[in-house]
Structure 1
Amino acid sequence: MKGRDATATAVTGPAAFRAAFPMLERTVHLAGCSLGPRSTALDTAMDAMLGAMTGTEAPWHLFEEQVGLAREGFASLIGARTEQIALVPSASVGAYQVASTADWSERPKVVTTPLEFPSLAHVWLAQRPRGAQVVFAERPDDYGAAVDGRTRLVSVPMTGYQDALRMPVAELAALAHREGAELFVDAYQAVGVEPVDVDRLGCDYLVAGTSKYLLGLPGLAFLYARTPGRAEREPSLTGWFGRPDPFSFDPRTLDFPDTASRYQTGTAAVPACYAAVAGLGLIARTDPVHVQEHIRGLTALAAEHLGAQGEHVRDIAPERRGAHIGIVDPDPAGLAEALADRGVMVSPRGDVARVSFHYYNRAEDVEHLCAALRDHRIS
């Protein structure tokens, strides 16, 4: 079945969801935009993997089962078909796989933004020796002037990694398509904390990883490709899991399937696949709309209370804000360390300390954050 059943009733509310993370009883975890908290589902998955390795036969068939379940789970979450999903080691590799299959000779422009995570922008910049010309749209409104008939690819984060600015992805997809370009979306800071439907977005590619809001581990990302078989070139980075039949073991033949698995390379990170299945299982038992509404309430509450006690919170309109807020500080890393000493985890990036929320957070977490900040400021 394609996509998630939109009529399904959520079986997990915030309190039940939070119960899957015992560590939250002793830690205020506000750093899901960097790394999700440890869950009982994750522990169970790791135990299952280690248990599979203690038998009398090689557990590769069990490992491959987890790879398949991870792909299916992510496809369902974003409204895609399984054959449109490739497993890659990171979002950067996913971006490179797309870039490597593009012909830059007649349409050399890549339009991106400094709001994008640098690792992806670096991939686009690295295509310049192949003829690509990288243009930066400083603000969302600047894409319109930058995208034209010479544009091959438009790249946009669904939510900015630093300020949590939600971008007009569907509008940019329509803009790119009017000019004959494709749209690449980095949804790492969005998937898991808001509804994501690739058909509604209209994107051609979307990448997201498992270590943040999807509650897994680093080492695994997913690349969605709307029509993978129509790429202009074959991927230049490949491996045996990029073949139509990986188990043919034919070193003399380089063939590619018409599915997104053409973008895959070698063996996937097995622990990360087990963790991904666990995290996606937790997310699948929630309603993405309820999750987003819950988080919006918490970000609004945090912005209001922090502002009232004199903190400089990056100004983002509530309807344009993703799952975190940014506290501007001269030493964000030092601030994060000071808050960690007080039992509150945040994530520094650039000139802000990011305070992120998920379905497991509650109003009391905002109270603990504000109290820790007051204590730090007067110490």
Structure 2
Amino acid sequence: MDAARFRALFPSLADTVHLASCSQGAASEQMVSAMQEFQWSLRSEGAPWGTWMGKVDEARRAFAAHIGASPDEIAIVSCASEGAFQVASTLDWARRPGIVTTDMEFPSVAHVWLAQRGAEVRHVKDRDGIVRADDYAALIDGTAGLVSVPLVSYRNGVRLPVGEVVEAAHAAGARVFVDAYQAAGVAPIDVKALGCDYLVTGALKYLLGVPGIAFLYVREGVRDARPPQLTGWFGRTDPFSFDPRSLDFPEHARRFETGTPAIPAAYAAVAGMRTLAGADPAAIDAHVRELTAVAHERLAEAGYAIASPADPALRGPQVAIKVDDPDGLAAALAGRRVVTSPRGDLLRLSFHYYNDVSDVDALLGALRDLRG
């Protein structure tokens, strides 16, 4: 499926420029239909738990295929924060207290690391919005138990040197946690090639779902120093044994699961990943890279200060600009049907396979109008 056919699957794009996939992906026909399917299951069957659990497993299998993992390496969680907490709760901070992260980490994950009692958090600082592998390596030593690195930073869309960080961490005996939230869906991901121990992402952004469901990859063979501290009936070897006196954990990634998953979000996640599966991941990546290059160049020509990397190889699916009032500008653009995502002192403009150059044209036109 080429980009034009893909774009046609999103009815709202007929009158809206959607440049906020870094916050929430646009709604596809398939996703809307899937939510209606969930509603009908309630109306027609009342409590179709077998059907719903089948949909959760379908989401698990679809995400596993998306990142090159096996379904047994995927845990269904509610959000990235929960996935990060589950991982942190199984590590021995007394033996290896170091957590190496970066100032470019999304706070929802970064706060989990800060909350670990007995852990010592070390922050890799960015240099002009770029995070370098040697800066990570300088903080990784034999006391580091976990190294956390996002594939792409939420802040300005910079791609991080994940492969080099994984290599440095494993050489020191540390495990690696990857946040793929700002990449999954538009950047090809192969967890076996990355070599990371854990990877988390959710469905609501570039995976084209809704809030409420996330996926935690746990590499096969990873052993826990202690069981996950947050658990529930889905974290059992047999959830349907209903034994209140037994606390057994399966060997596979489902040991990190807790209570009943968000069923509507599972329906939407399956629909989003089905939509993405109709396109070539390499074509999506190339298309998005081309659009960010066009946007970067034209925004710079218009006089905007660009916070995203000048090097296209380091640029993820968004271009961020520095403006005086990002929230106010985002609201004004929304009034002109251009949806963006402000964060801090930046206005983020993110691109997906459903975007095209006409969206860049519309953005620049709206910005010119607002400047007066």
Q: Contact 1:84/1:228 (CA < 8 Å) preserved in 2?
A: no
Provide the rounded CA distance (Å) in 2 between the counterparts of 1:66 and 1:18. Answer: 26
Provide the rounded CA distance (Å) in 1 between the counterparts of 2:279 and 2:238. Answer: 36
SS at match of 2:319: strand
Name the amino acid aligned to 2:210. L
Provide the rounded CA distance (Å) in 2 between the counterparts of 1:331 and 1:254. Answer: 52
Provide the rounded CA distance (Å) in 1 between the counterparts of 2:250 and 2:222. Answer: 7
Name the amino acid aligned to 1:86. A
Map of 1:64 onto structure 2: 53
| 2:33 is the counterpart of 1:40 | no
Change in 2 beyond 3 A, CA 1:56/1:227: closer
Map of 1:123 onto structure 2: 112
Query: How far 1:227 sits from its partner (Å)?
Result: 3.0
Provide the rounded CA distance (Å) in 2 between the counterparts of 1:277 and 1:371. Answer: 36
Provide the rounded CA distance (Å) in 1 between the counterparts of 2:368 and 2:174. Answer: 49
Map of 1:212 onto structure 2: 205
| 2:121 is the counterpart of 1:134 | yes
Q: Contact 2:21/2:350 (CA < 8 Å) preserved in 1?
A: yes
Map of 1:75 onto structure 2: 64
Name the amino acid aligned to 1:78. I
Map of 1:172 onto structure 2: 165
Map of 1:87 onto structure 2: 76
Q: Indicate which of 339, 359, 366 corresponds to 2:360.
A: 366
Name the amino acid aligned to 1:162. R
Map of 1:27 onto structure 2: 16
Q: Contact 1:229/1:258 (CA < 8 Å) preserved in 2?
A: no
Name the amino acid aligned to 1:29. H
Q: Contact 2:21/2:352 (CA < 8 Å) preserved in 1?
A: yes
Residues 225-271 of structure 1, C-alpha deviation per residue, up to 9 Å, x if partnerless? Answer: 00366111100100000001000000000000000000000000011
Name the amino acid aligned to 1:363. V
Q: Contact 1:84/1:225 (CA < 8 Å) preserved in 2?
A: yes
Map of 2:215 onto structure 1: 222
How many aligned positions are there? Answer: 365
Q: Indicate which of 344, 349, 370 corresponds to 1:355.
A: 349
Query: How far 1:57 sits from its partner (Å)?
Result: 5.1
Provide the rounded CA distance (Å) in 2 between the counterparts of 1:145 and 1:56. Answer: 58
Runs of 4+ more than 6 Å apart = none
Map of 2:100 onto structure 1: 111
Name the amino acid aligned to 2:157. A
Query: How far 1:55 sits from its partner (Å)?
Result: 2.2
Provide the rounded CA distance (Å) in 2 between the counterparts of 1:32 and 1:274. Answer: 19
Q: Contact 1:32/1:213 (CA < 8 Å) preserved in 2?
A: yes
Name the amino acid aligned to 2:234. F
TM superposition score normalised by structure 1: 0.95
| 2:154 is the counterpart of 1:154 | no
Map of 1:332 onto structure 2: 326
Provide the rounded CA distance (Å) in 2 between the counterparts of 1:26 and 1:87. Answer: 35
Provide the rounded CA distance (Å) in 2 between the counterparts of 1:303 and 1:297. Answer: 10
Query: How far 1:43 sits from its partner (Å)?
Result: 1.2
Q: Which shifted more, 53-62 or 192-201? A: 53-62
Residues 104-161 of structure 1, C-alpha deviation per residue, up to 9 Å, x if partnerless? Answer: 111100000010001111000000x2x1000001133311110000000000110000
Query: How far 1:58 sits from its partner (Å)?
Result: 2.3
SS at match of 2:200: strand
SS at match of 2:138: helix
SS at match of 1:134: strand
Residues 49-86 of structure 1, C-alpha deviation per residue, up to 9 Å, x if partnerless? Answer: 11111225521111111100000000000000000000
Q: Contact 2:137/2:169 (CA < 8 Å) preserved in 1?
A: no
Provide the rounded CA distance (Å) in 2 between the counterparts of 1:346 and 1:57. Answer: 39
Map of 2:195 onto structure 1: 202
Map of 2:180 onto structure 1: 187
Query: How far 1:350 sits from its partner (Å)?
Result: 1.3
Change in 2 beyond 3 A, CA 1:304/1:92: same
Map of 1:9 onto structure 2: none
Name the amino acid aligned to 1:123. V
Provide the rounded CA distance (Å) in 2 between the counterparts of 1:56 and 1:332. Answer: 47
SS at match of 1:207: strand
Name the amino acid aligned to 2:369. D
Q: Contact 2:150/2:178 (CA < 8 Å) preserved in 1?
A: yes
Map of 2:279 onto structure 1: 286
Map of 1:7 onto structure 2: none
| 2:156 is the counterpart of 1:163 | yes
Query: How far 1:199 sits from its partner (Å)?
Result: 0.7
Name the amino acid aligned to 1:342. R
* Residues 284-323 of structure 1 aligned to structure 2 (within 5 Å): 284-316=277-309, 317-323=311-317
Map of 1:3 onto structure 2: none
Q: CA RMSD in A?
A: 0.9
Residues 34-55 of structure 1, C-alpha deviation per residue, up to 9 Å, x if partnerless? Answer: 0011111011101111111122
Name the amino acid aligned to 2:96. R
